[in-house]
Amino acid sequence: MKNKNKVSTKILIVLIFGSLTSLGIFLNPSFASPGQVLKTAAPKNILIYTEYTDDSNGGELENTIDAINQSYGNFTYGFLTDYTNLTAQLSGYDILLIPEQENGDVNTFKTIGLNWTDPLKSFINGGGTVIILDYSGGSYHIYNSSGLMLIMGELECTGENTTLINQNSPLANNVNGNFTLSDGSIYFETNETTSVVEYDSNPVVIHKRRGKGHMVLMGIDFYEIVNETATILGNAVALNPGSGIPGYDLNVFIGLSIFSIGITLIILKKKFKIKK
Strand-pair partners of 76: 45
Q: What is the CATH number of the domain that holds 170?
A: 3.40.50.880
- Taking only the tens place, the pLDDT of each residue in 188-225 is 999 998 999 999 999 999 999 999 999 999 999 999 99
Question: Is pLDDT at 254 greater than 90 in this prediction?
Answer: no
Domain with 198 in it: 36-242
Question: Is pLDDT at 145 greater than 60 in this prediction?
Answer: yes
Whole-number Å distance between alpha carbons of 218 and 197: 9
**Residue bearing the bigger pLDDT, 3 or 221:** 221
Q: How many domains does the chain have?
A: 2
Q: Left if phi > 0, otherwise alpha if psi is -120 to 50, otherwise beta: which for 73?
A: left
Check: CB of residue 182 under 8 Å from CB of residue 158. yes
268 and 222 part of one domain: no
β strands within 10-141, DSSP E: 45-49, 76-80, 95-98, 129-133
- Taking only the tens place, the pLDDT of each residue in 21-33 is 445 444 443 333 3
Please report, for residues 14, 89, 154, the alpha-carbon distance to residue 83 in angstroms, rounded to integers and kept in the order given: 51, 10, 24
Check: CB of residue 100 under 8 Å from CB of residue 137. yes
Look at residue 33 in the predicted model and tell me its pLDDT.
Answer: 37
- Taking only the tens place, the pLDDT of each residue in 150-176 is 999 999 999 999 999 999 999 999 999
Whole-number Å distance between alpha carbons of 71 and 76: 15
229 and 183 part of one domain: yes
144 and 220 part of one domain: yes
Check: CB of residue 205 under 8 Å from CB of residue 195. yes
